[in-house]
């Protein structure tokens, strides 16, 4: 499913008292992976914000299949499912040794940082979104 994959380690602060990843932390892993996907495309959240653009989650649908535990090595996948003039839908999956633990569909809106209203993608990012898909990896 993934065009982009980010390795993640489960630390103690990610877990509940039983050593199982607290559900909201999967969303944090996915947010990191989307930010690193953006960075791999040559953009950062900070640069977009400084240019008057903010990327916000508009809708999220998530399914939890199996728990991750303390010290697990995970991989967070990111793939673009669709995009429009000012929206983008990502498919994301968190896996452990290839086994899906959590899957999500995340709709992102491109908004003007001042008015908080939808705005078209900046031209350089629109060009990336329109280009043929290819696998990219994080630049760590």
Residue 22 falls inside a structural domain: yes
For the stretch 21-67, pLDDT in tens is 999 999 999 999 999 999 999 999 999 999 999 999 999 999 999 99
CATH number for position 31:
3.10.129.10
Residue 81 falls inside a structural domain: yes
Predicted confidence band of residue 135 (pLDDT cuts 50, 70, 90): low
Cross-strand bridge partners of residue 95: 75, 100
Residue 16 falls inside a structural domain: yes
For the stretch 105-133, pLDDT in tens is 999 999 999 999 999 999 999 999 988 76
Residue 140 falls inside a structural domain: no
- Scanning the chain, the segments in alpha helix (DSSP H) are 23-40, 45-50, 123-130
- Residue 112 annotated in active site: no
Range of the domain at 19: 4-130
Residues 109, 56: contact at Cβ < 8 Å? yes
Residue 63 falls inside a structural domain: yes
Number of domains in the chain: 1
Q: Is pTM, for the whole model, over 0.95?
A: no
* Active-site residue identified among 3, 14, 16, 135: 16
């Amino acid at each position: 499913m993934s065009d982009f994959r980010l390795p993640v380690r489960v630390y103690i602060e990610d877990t509940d008292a039983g050593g199982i990843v607290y559900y909201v932390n999967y969303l944090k892993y996915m947010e990191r992976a989307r930010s690193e996907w953006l960075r791999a495309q040559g953009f950062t959240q900070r640069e977009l914000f400084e240019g008057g653009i903010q990327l916000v989650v508009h809708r999220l649908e998530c399914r939890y299949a199996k728990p991750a535990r303390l010290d697990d090595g995970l991989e967070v996948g990111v793939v673009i499912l669709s995009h429009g003039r000012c929206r983008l839908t990502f498919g994301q999956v968190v896996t452990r040794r290839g086994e899906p633990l959590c899957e999500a569909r995340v709709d992102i809106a491109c908004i003007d940082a001042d008015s908080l209203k939808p705005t078209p993608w900046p031209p350089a990012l629109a060009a990336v979104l329109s280009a043929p898909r290819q696998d990219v990896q994080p630049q760590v």
